Amino acid sequence: MDIISNLAFGFDHALTFTNIWYCFIGVLLGTLIGVLPGLGPVATIAMLLPITFGLPPVTAMIMLAGIYYGAQYGGSTTAILVNLPGEPGSVVTAIDGHQLARKGKAGLALFTAAVGSFFAGTVATFLIAGFAPPLAAVALTFGPAEYFSLMVLGLAAAVALAHGSIVKALAMVVLGLLLGTMGQDLYTGAPRFTFGSTEFADGIDFTALAMGVFGIGEIIRNLESAQVREPIKSRLRDLIPTREEFKAIIAPVLRGTGLGSVLGILPGGGAVLGSFASYSVEKKLSKNPVPFGKGAIEGVAGPESANNAGAQTSFIPMLTLGIPSNPVMALMIGALIIQGIVPGPNVITDKPDLFWGLITSMWVGNAMLLILNLPLIGIWVRLMTVPYNLLFPAIIAVCCIGVYSVSNNPFDVYLMAIFGVIGYFLVKLDCEPAPLLLGFVIGKLLEEYLRRAMLLSRGDPLVFFERPISATLMILAILALVLVLLPSVRKKREEAFRE
Amino acid sequence: MLTIRNPKDFFTGLLLLVIAAVFAYGLTELRIGTAYRMGPGYFPMVLTGMLTIFALILVVSGFRTDGEPIGEIPWRALFIVTVSIVLYGITLKGLGLVPALALTVLLSTFAAKKWDAKAAIGVTIVLVAACYGIFLKGLGLPISPFGPWVGGY
């Protein structure tokens, strides 16, 4: 069995003392910061990115992945206990999870979320191990035209799934791509958009952009409307469900895992799609006398499994194709590039230790979450009530130290401040910053593939439609955009996002 | 007379137009090339063009569609947060981590709606001590705790 021997190889790397330690630190830090008010997984990862730069690539990625699950789990915990989902993936968890908590069943909801996530994580680990290598093998046959089309599809999907106006999302992608072109031109070495300053010679620092837009911008927004967070004071001791309750969650967990895994692989997917889809499926299938929205346990079990499965399978396109399907994966790709690794199908063959070590560490991380979180829930609850006035100076301090430490250049600190302001105004103007980050991260690669493809075709843009794989991807991308622009779909989409 | 009915769209468009103009200016120094042999300016030129089109659509939609007002902007918080971060960049090399971070954190606390002296000083002391411990002692970042401006190195 290939999968088994590969996974065993991965465990060899994931289970070294150093890697277990950093996985643990990542999961712990992720949860710790994830439960704090106003900090979702993207902001958490952006903030902690610089700490990982000094680590070897495998360890760094393992730690980042740990931070991701931790932050996500933290987000679910706040969703259940304070009805404030820290991240979009746990929006639907808040609906029934919080109602359960109000009925004194917070323990049950938390247990379900933890166990469902762990189960989904386990299944997703095997799925990645099974599907990633063949996908990478296919991707190895891709030429520049296919790659270009694939990236366009990824960006189109991100636009289609963004909240609000399509034109704004498109503009954000293009702005991200444009910011990504700053710095030296890959082919000629000509400085681009440096405006005579040497500070821009290497382009805009990825960490400064991510921290500014997602960390600092977020602070300014939170200061605008100070939220009052009152966690539910319910008995947390009754964690273990009764036999009937346990039976009720089995099927939703299985369905959620399946849905989440599939939707997580899609470009533009990730944790969010799966959790929404799972919630509506469970709502339709529910035989629970308690209606949805009033504290149905299925409404926690399904979406929580789905978002964790999706969070994990979204690593598949990132690791095998080098395409980020969501902002978290964009950060991961940014981290890989900083580590000197070009994300793409070559990672599996060139860096098997990184690939398999990371995958198996996901399972280790999920197991740690399960062991760590249920006993520590009391601490998390207390952290949730930290007043924001004490918290935001800490975020500023960590961001300042972090962004400076990347290249010991004060200029990056100024850049972060500027992107903080820009990020704030973008959100204020209803422009989602996620597509901007995606565009920024893959901008250089996209251009490289475009230029190579055009060289090979002698300047004929039809090349993208002549090669079958490339044509299929392009047509899918165009379909995705045309569909969301159709008036009928547009209406439904707006309704879906409002829910 | 045209009236702005959708301010969010209108100002997004305006902001993007300004950004596109800056990039268009930068493009003047770059060789564009042809689709076959693209110069350094080709891809950015296409992007700048696309950005301009989207920006114009948004400006037009600002006049033609109805939308919500932008709402209040917390100028004070925006200004203080930005200045406190910039201050860190300016003072770090001269003052060293401990005084620079203390200044930044203390200044940033004023961004809160209600400033509380006790809490502000407390959070500054705790944070600086924690960051000193974690980042200098723990992670060993190559930053001096006290810089030349305060008699350090």
Output the 3-class SS for chain A.
CHHHHHHHHHHHHHCCHHHHHHHHHHHHHHHHHHCCCCCCHHHHHHHHHHHHCCCCHHHHHHHHHHHHHHHHHHHHHHHHHHCCCCCHHHHHHHHHHHHHHHCCCHHHHHHHHHHHHHHHHHHHHHHHHHHHHHHHHHHHCCCHHHHHHHHHHHHHHHHHHCCCCHHHHHHHHHHHHHHHCCEECCCCCCEECCCCCHHHCCCCCHHHHHHHHHHHHHHHHHHHCCCCCCCCCCCCCCCCCCHHHHHHHHHHHHHHHHHHHHHHHCCCCCHHHHHHHHHHHHHHHCCCCCCCCCCCCHHHHHHHHHHHHHHHHCHHHHHHHCCCCCHHHHHHHHHHHHCCCCCCCHHHHHCHHHHHHHHHHHHHHHHHHHHHHHHHHHHHHHHHCCCHHHHHHHHHHHHHHHHHHHHCCHHHHHHHHHHHHHHHHHHHCCCCHHHHHHHHHHHHHHHHHHHHHHHHCCCCCCHHHHCHHHHHHHHHHHHHHHHHHCHHHHHHHHHHHHC
pLDDT for A387 equals 83
Query: Would you call B113 and A404 a contact, using CB atoms and an 8 Å cutoff?
Result: no
Task: Measure the CA angle with vertex A361, ends A13 and A302; round to 5°.
Answer: 160
Query: Would you call B30 and A413 a contact, using CB atoms and an 8 Å cutoff?
Result: no
User: To the nearest whole angstrom, how far is the Cα of B112 from the nearest Cα of chain A?
Assistant: 6
Most A-contacting residue of B4, B9, B12 (CB-CB within 10 A), to test interface: B12
pLDDT for A120 equals 92
Query: Would you call B85 and A399 a contact, using CB atoms and an 8 Å cutoff?
Result: yes
Q: Chain A partners of B135 at a C-beta cutoff of 8 Å? A: 401, 405
Residue A444, both tokens: 């250089």
pLDDT for A493 equals 60
pLDDT for A229 equals 59
Query: Would you call A181 and B85 a contact, using CB atoms and an 8 Å cutoff?
Result: no
Taking only the tens of pLDDT, chain B with its 153 residues reads 678 889 999 999 999 999 999 999 999 988 888 888 888 999 999 999 999 999 999 999 999 888 888 888 899 999 999 999 999 999 999 999 999 999 999 999 999 888 888 999 999 999 999 999 988 888 888 888 898 888 777
Quote ipTM for the complex: 0.94
Q: Chain A partners of B93 at a C-beta cutoff of 8 Å? A: 410
pLDDT for A106 equals 82
Most A-contacting residue of B58, B81, B91 (CB-CB within 10 A), to test interface: B81
pLDDT for A226 equals 59
Average pLDDT, consecutive stretches of 10 residues, N- to C-terminus, chain A (499 residues): 80 87 91 80 87 89 91 85 73 84 82 89 89 87 90 86 84 95 87 86 89 90 71 61 79 89 76 81 78 82 89 87 84 89 86 89 88 79 81 92 89 95 93 89 89 90 90 91 75 58
Q: Which residue of A has its CA nearest to B31?
A: A190
| Whole-angstrom distance, CA of residue A488 vs CA of residue A482 | 12
pLDDT for A434 equals 85
A447 and chain B: CB distance < 8 Å anywhere?
yes
pLDDT for A496 equals 59
